[in-house]
């Protein structure tokens, strides 16, 4: 068993006089050890890690974006998803290195606060918390669209659009379930992801064969760049929300067994798997209908694609899969947001009270409410594209800074930094990863960029006010 010592000493105190919790003594394959006789058990294996990553990502990319993306970029939306996948991979590799060096809860926030100091850490940490809320709200609105489509399928016509109402309902239910439910949902998550992958593989295989003309119904693809070149990049920025999940694996890094092996495999593996699924999905969807018509179907375009191929059973299968996928994405994001709150409160950047554990249920009710409450407000706006872009913005800032943190740490080379996985192609990969992450932000809508910048400024001001004396950076 490998055992490594951890030698980062946080210091200082916040306005309320709370100091950061001491760092653990060492990290083993099975535990994080504090003071020699207190251990935190690691219980998530490789499959669990992959399920978190894929489960968080696949809901958005396949079940919400195809229609929107095709509307924006035409057939070239396929390329947009591929670009997103390449950027995600460029970030997932450095993140893997950081995660094996610091397999602790909090993910990107932890790496950046230890590598680059408290100010960057606070901006990223608070941004991650809020970014996950935006992401969650986005998934919930997507879920609302699918649930509404179910009503439409049943022939029930409602006098109003139920999308937002259903999103709110599920948001509230999910928060309540997370606080009060103690069933083992991790196993369930694994099963859900497995079922999704099987359904999608079957559906997409049929779709690909059909698209290349095996069943005689092939349509001739239209012009690839039907909307021009610029929309390819702006669409890549929009759909990047489909690639946020691998960082959620890092937020539970403290609970992953054999982190040196499982973290890189889970992160890089989940990015590769979903990229393939996304690209094939868009290819199949656009070849079935053409971009214009697909765009008109909006969020639930995949249901129409399935109906076109397989009739009503296909539509029902994809409806069910869409509900499952968006629900599990929203759930995973709420839980990650609560982990982010814990990591911040552990380091005295948020009140200790925020990560308090409920005595009756053993769940962090304050942190979960702090995630669930604002999510409802965001869902109420119902703006899918804006929610997605702000979530992507805040994550991309973190991704870029993670790549920078890796370069900083490699150059300073402190004694405690000894990752068991080292990124290939250093320094090119992290440098390109950072540039690409920051670069993608430029292609977003003005409103998304504005909201993102406001969140960052407020985060920084909060840090100056609340925890200006706290130092978290590792020894040099």
Partner 1 sequence: MTDRPSILVPIRVLEGESVPEGVPELLAHAHVVLLGYHVIPEQTAPGQAQMQFEDRARERLDEYETMFEEAGATVERRLVFTHEGQKTIDRTTTEHDCLAALVPNATGPVEDVLVAVRGAVGIDRLARVVAGLFGETDASVTLYHIAEDEETDEDVGTLLDGLVDRLADLGMDTSMVETRVDRDQEALDAIVETADGFDTVVMGESDPSLATFVFGLPADQVADRFLGPVLVVQREPPRETEE
Q: Which one of 17, 155, 362, 424 is in contact with partner 1 (CB under 8 A)?
A: 362
- Taking the complex as a whole, how short is the minimal distance between the CB of residue 191 and partner 1, in angstroms? 15
Q: Which one of 11, 181, 201, 461 is in contact with partner 1 (CB under 8 A)?
A: 181
- The pair of structure tokens assigned to 60 is 């958005």
* Residue 198 in contact with partner 1, rule: CB under 8 A: no
Q: Which one of 10, 27, 32, 321 is in contact with partner 1 (CB under 8 A)?
A: 32
* Residue 172 in contact with partner 1, rule: CB under 8 A: no
* Residue 265 in contact with partner 1, rule: CB under 8 A: no
* Residue 9 in contact with partner 1, rule: CB under 8 A: no
Q: Which one of 254, 295, 452, 474 is in contact with partner 1 (CB under 8 A)?
A: 254
- Taking the complex as a whole, how short is the minimal distance between the CB of residue 34 and partner 1, in angstroms? 7
* Residue 364 in contact with partner 1, rule: CB under 8 A: yes
* Residue 373 in contact with partner 1, rule: CB under 8 A: no
The 3-class secondary structure across the chain, one letter per residue, is: CCCEECCCCCECCCCCCCCCCCCCCEECCCEEEECCCEEEECCECHHHHHHHHHHHHHHHHHHCHHHHHHHHHHHHHHHHHHHHHHHHHHHHHHHHHHHHHCCCCCCHHHHHHHHHCHHHHHHHHHHHHHHHHHHHHHHHHHHHHHHHHHHHHHCCCCCCCCHHHHHHHHHHHHHHHHHHCCCCHHHHHHHHHHHHHHHHHHHHHHHHHHHCCCCCCCCCCCCCCCCCCHHHHHHHHHHHHHHCHHHHHHHCHHHECCHHHHHHHHHHHHHHHHHHHHHHHHHHHHHHHCHHHHHHHHHHHHHHHHHHHHHHHHHHHHHHHHHHHHHHHHHHHHHHHHHHHHHHHHCCCCCHHHHCCCCCCCCCHHHHHHHHHHHHHHHHHCCHHHHHHHHHHHHHHHHHHHHHHHHHHHHHCCCCCCCCCCCCCCCHHHHHHHHHHHHHHCCCCHHHHHHHHHHHHHHHHHHHHHHCCCECCCCC
* Residue 17 in contact with partner 1, rule: CB under 8 A: no
> Which of 107-115, 233-241, 317-325, 352-360 is the region at the interface with partner 1 (rule: CB under 8 A)?
352-360
Q: Which one of 368, 394, 444, 470 is in contact with partner 1 (CB under 8 A)?
A: 368
- Taking the complex as a whole, how short is the minimal distance between the CB of residue 363 and partner 1, in angstroms? 5
* Residue 2 in contact with partner 1, rule: CB under 8 A: no
* Residue 34 in contact with partner 1, rule: CB under 8 A: yes
Of the pair 154, 359, the CB lying nearest partner 1 is at 359
* Residue 114 in contact with partner 1, rule: CB under 8 A: no
- The pair of structure tokens assigned to 376 is 């409802």
* Residue 100 in contact with partner 1, rule: CB under 8 A: no
* Residue 25 in contact with partner 1, rule: CB under 8 A: no
Of the pair 20, 207, the CB lying nearest partner 1 is at 20
* Residue 336 in contact with partner 1, rule: CB under 8 A: no
Interface characters, 130-169, with partner 1 (x: CB under 8 A): ----------------------------------------
* Residue 41 in contact with partner 1, rule: CB under 8 A: yes
Which spans of this chain sit near partner 1 (rule: CB under 8 A)?
21, 30-32, 34, 37-41, 43, 105, 178-179, 181-182, 184-186, 252, 254-255, 335, 338-339, 342, 346, 352, 355-357, 361-364, 368
């Amino acid at each position: 068993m490998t055992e490594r010592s951890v030698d980062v000493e946080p210091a200082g105190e916040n306005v309320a006089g709370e100091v950061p919790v001491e760092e653990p003594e060492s990290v083993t394959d099975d535990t994080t050890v504090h003071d020699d006789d207190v251990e935190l058990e690691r219980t998530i294996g490789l499959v669990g890690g992959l399920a978190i990553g894929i489960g968080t990502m696949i809901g958005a990319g396949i079940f919400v974006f195809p229609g929107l993306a095709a509307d924006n970029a035409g057939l070239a939306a396929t390329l947009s998803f591929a670009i997103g996948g390449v950027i995600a991979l460029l970030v997932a590799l450095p993140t893997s290195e950081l995660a094996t060096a610091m397999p602790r809860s909090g993910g990107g926030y932890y790496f950046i606060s230890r590598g680059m100091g408290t100010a960057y850490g606070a901006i990223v940490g608070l941004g991650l918390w809020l970014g996950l809320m935006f992401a969650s709200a986005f998934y919930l609105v997507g879920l609302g669209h699918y649930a509404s489509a179910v009503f439409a399928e049943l022939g029930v016509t409602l006098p109003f659009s139920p999308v937002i109402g259903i999103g709110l309902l599920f948001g509230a239910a999910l928060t309540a379930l997370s606080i009060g439910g103690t069933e083992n949902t991790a196993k369930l998550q694994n099963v859900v992801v497995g079922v999704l992958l099987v359904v999608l593989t079957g559906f997409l295989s049929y779709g690909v064969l059909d698209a290349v003309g095996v069943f005689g119904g092939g349509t001739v693809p239209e012009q690839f760049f039907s909307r021009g070149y610029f929309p390819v990049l702006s669409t890549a920025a929009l759909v990047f929300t489909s690639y946020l999940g691998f960082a959620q694996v890092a937020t539970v890094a403290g609970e992953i067994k054999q982190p040196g092996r499982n973290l890189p495999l889970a992160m890089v593996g989940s990015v590769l798997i979903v990229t393939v699924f996304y690209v094939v999905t868009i290819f199949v969807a656009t070849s079935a209908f053409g971009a214009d018509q697909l765009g008109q179907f909006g969020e639930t375009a995949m249901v129409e694609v399935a109906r076109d191929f397989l009739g009503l059973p296909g539509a029902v299968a994809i409806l069910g899969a869409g509900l499952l996928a968006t629900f599990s994405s929203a759930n995973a994001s709420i839980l990650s947001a609560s982990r982010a709150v814990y990591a911040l409160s552990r380091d005295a950047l948020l009140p200790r009270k925020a990560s308090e554990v409920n005595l009756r249920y053993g769940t962090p009710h304050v942190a979960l409410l702090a995630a669930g409450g604002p999510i409802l407000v965001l869902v109420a706006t119902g703006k899918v594209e804006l929610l997605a872009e702000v979530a992507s913005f805040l994550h991309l800032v973190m991704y870029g800074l993670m790549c920078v943190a890796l370069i900083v740490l490699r150059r300073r080379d402190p004694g405690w930094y000894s990752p068991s996985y080292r990124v290939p192609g250093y320094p090119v990969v992290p440098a390109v990863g950072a540039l690409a992450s920051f670069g993608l932000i430029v292609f977003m809508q003005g409103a998304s960029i504005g909201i993102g910048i406001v969140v960052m400024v407020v985060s920084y001001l909060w840090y100056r006010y609340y925890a200006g004396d706290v130092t978290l950076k590792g020894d040099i």
